[in-house]
Structure 1
């Protein structure tokens, strides 16, 4: 699994979060790579459920956070 993106997010209270996006590379053919499913998590390892491209839910607490 490869780290493909990092971004900051905030909760409703303004608490900052750092999000990491991992993706499995399924197949390499020449110069093209077929990308697998993306996994979102906080830098502390807690899993995130993506609700949209801008909105996520922390699985452990149910808190919604937003990309900034």
Structure 2
């Protein structure tokens, strides 16, 4: 799993968060059918569910955060 992106996000209260995006390549029978899978986490390790490219939900708390 490789770190491929970092960005800042904020919650509705204005609390700042640092998001890290990890990518893993799922190899299929050949390179043409390989799939890249991304996972999103806060810098403190909590998992995120992507709701869109700009909006995420913290799995542990349900809080929605937004890319800034």
TM-score, length basis structure 2: 0.86
Between Structure 1 and Structure 2, which shows a larger proportion of strand residues? 1
User: Which structure has the highest helix share of the two?
Assistant: 2
After TM superposition, the structure 1 = structure 2 runs for residues 1-20 of structure 1, keeping only pairs within 5 Å, are 1-20=1-20
Residue 24 of structure 1 corresponds to which residue in structure 2?
A: 24
Structure 1 gaps of 5+ residues are none
| Correspondence list, 1:1-68, <5 A | 1-27=1-27, 34-68=34-68
CA distance in 2, matches of 1:62, 1:25: 28
Extract structure 1 runs of 4+ deviating beyond 4 A: none
Aligned-CA RMSD value:
1.6
